[in-house]
Chains A and B, each alone.
Chain A
Amino acid sequence: MTRTPNFVSWRAAILHRSDDSIERLKRQLERLGVTVLVQWKPLDLAETPADIVLVDADQGWDDLLPWDGDDAPVPVVALLGSEAPGRIAWALAKGAGAIMAKPVVAASVYPALVLATHAHHERTAVKARIAGLEERLRLRPIVHDAMRSIMAAQGGDEDGAYRTLCRLAMQRRLTVEHVAAAIVAGHEPVPRAM
């Protein structure tokens, strides 16, 4: 980790009934510069925006967090006393990237924020990468169509056509798939010799 993680001015939503342990958690979060909201009702991020959510995984029910794991819009920390696999599964299904054992001890708070935030960003980045790859896969037939048009116009082979396509994409500052789509749609003239 090259940069020290810093949570100043973050907003945390703790979804848990208030008790001494939760009060201690709230004070520890405030020491890290985090503003804290404690509530025991379903979270509405539009009404009460939060940068991180800490949820009671012992008693939490599905509607408490209006999302499923992969779609968690913010990092999630599970507050867990139970060891029941079902409760751990619930926490995972809601996107928890870290667990704080109950009763919460001060030393577990900062590491859990760092882990949950890291897990969330990693998941977001992987999702974006997969979406990009799927888009490219979807456009693969169009790339082939464009290559066939270029081969016909240039009288060359597949490798030459692909190189032409890549060069054109670079010149236009577009992806290969976008240039191919433009050629197939007739928005871009079929390149001859380059």
Chain B
Amino acid sequence: MAPPRLIEHGVRVGPLFFEVGVKIFRVGILYSTTGPYGAIGRDCRAGAEFAIEELEKAGSPVRIEPVFGDPAGQPERYLDLIRSMLRDEGCRNVIGTITSLSRKDVIPLVEKYDGLLWYICPYEGFEANENVIYTGACPNQHLIPLFDYMLPRHGKRVYLAGANYVWGWEMNRLARELLMRAGGEVLGERCLPIEETDVGLLIADLERHRPDFILNNMIGPSSYAFLAAVKQLAARDPAFAPERCPVLSCDLTECELGEIEPGVAVGQLSTASYFESLASFENRAFKQRVAARFGAGRRVSSFFAGAYAAVKLWAEAVSEADRDDPASVRGFLHARPRQTVLGTLAIDPRTNHAALPFHLGRINARAGFDIIASHGAIAADPYLVGTLPIQHAPHLRVVQ
């Protein structure tokens, strides 16, 4: 495995010149920039690259020589690319994967080569691996606070739409459980293949059931087609206007609003642990730096900000540890909370998950989000061991 390259370097502070050693580590950046979730992958990669550039500019004692891998949305390519990063390219850390399918696929290799995967996307939970740092939200940080907000305000008669894979299935399952516990009702549920854009049956089902709101766990083109079809439905039936029957997503961000026909999704809601419109000091400074680098029109999504924050967290931990093996990086990451563009971020040593704030945003006419509700950092509970009321043993009902 390639040792980090060491280059001699100096830092001038006023009249003083300090000699420092700069260590350069190879880090894998594994995102699909084309394919059904290409917009998300491009933003993740751009955020990581921007942070890597900033490490250079700021004279950080640790630098990244990125090893890029682009599986182009083809599940089987993730394995070859990450194997090469970990086995041949000298990477101990890889920032990457978007879908749970790909994350689950690469984890055995990450474990085998004792690497560290940085996963920054919201996901359906039920995972905690010592070789993964999770800085994306799990359901007690997105779906549960979303329902806590929505059920008292919009009603408990809900329609569940999802993508036909684990994100859609598990989010819908949990939504059903939350509704059952709250005395609500699932009016209907439909899952579409990931790239399906024919949403006619789904819309017909909605018209028949007339829910209080719609949970949208579809991704990419299906999700965009669905939002466009709901807009048309609302034009002929005001009961489906966003203020009366909003469509809620837990993963729709600024980076995808550009992919949707302008104005189509205005008024619909999404959750995130970061929105571009956050008024924090860190975020204002961050957006100024982004604008200076990419131009004033560059949108920033939670994927861009999340990958950026992951690189910065990596740099802090690696410069403190002076090495990049998973045990050392984890140890320093767990040691104390850190300031990031997502806010103060603590990684729980028990779960390797970040405590994250919750924001609910409403899509505005400027392809951004107006934040309508927020909650301070929520500790991640990936297996929902403390979030849902406990049933005492025997806790699994035998289905007759």
Q: Which residues of A contact B (CB under 8 A)?
A: 1-10, 24, 27-28, 30-33, 51, 105-107, 110, 114, 117-118, 121-122, 124-125
Contacts and interface: CB of A to CB of B under 8 A. Distances in A.
B152 interface: no
B180 A2 contact: yes
Interface residues of B, number: 29
A105 B393 contact: no
B111 A105 contact: yes
Given A4-B384, A6-B384, A31-B350, A106 B129 contact: yes
Considering the complex of A and B, which 6 residue pairs feature the smallest CB-CB distances, nearest first? A33-B385, A125-B398, A106-B129, A8-B385, A31-B128, A121-B398
Interface string B123-150: 0001111100000000000000000000
Contact of A6 (B129, B173, B174, B390): B390
Contacts of A107: 104, 107, 127, 129
B130 A4 contact: no
Interface of B: 104, 107-108, 111, 126-130, 173-174, 176-177, 180, 350-351, 383-386, 388, 390-391, 393-398
Contact of B385 (A3, A7, A106): A7
A3 B395 contact: yes
B395 to A, nearest CB: 6
Nearest to A111: B126
Contacts of B398: 118, 121-122, 125
Nearest to B348: A31
Contacts of A33: 383, 385-386
B390 A9 contact: yes
Given A3-B177, A31-B351, A106 B396 contact: no
Contact of A110 (B383, B390, B396): B383
| B-side interface mostly | loop
A28 B385 contact: no
12 contacts: A2-B176, A3-B395, A6-B388, A6-B391, A6-B395, A8-B385, A105-B108, A106-B128, A110-B383, A117-B395, A118-B398, A121-B397
Contacts of B127: 106-107
Nearest to B400: A125
Contacts of A3: 177, 391, 395-397
Nearest to A10: B393
A5 B177 CA distance: 11
A27 B351 CA distance: 10
A7 B393 CA distance: 9
A56 to B, nearest CB: 21
Contacts of B126: 110
A9 to B, nearest CB: 7
Contacts of B130: 24, 27, 106
Contacts of B173: 1
A180 to B, nearest CB: 27
A5 B397 CA distance: 10
A5 B393 CA distance: 10
A117 B391 CA distance: 14
A121 B174 CA distance: 23
Nearest to B126: A110
Given A24-B130, A31-B351, A4 B388 contact: yes
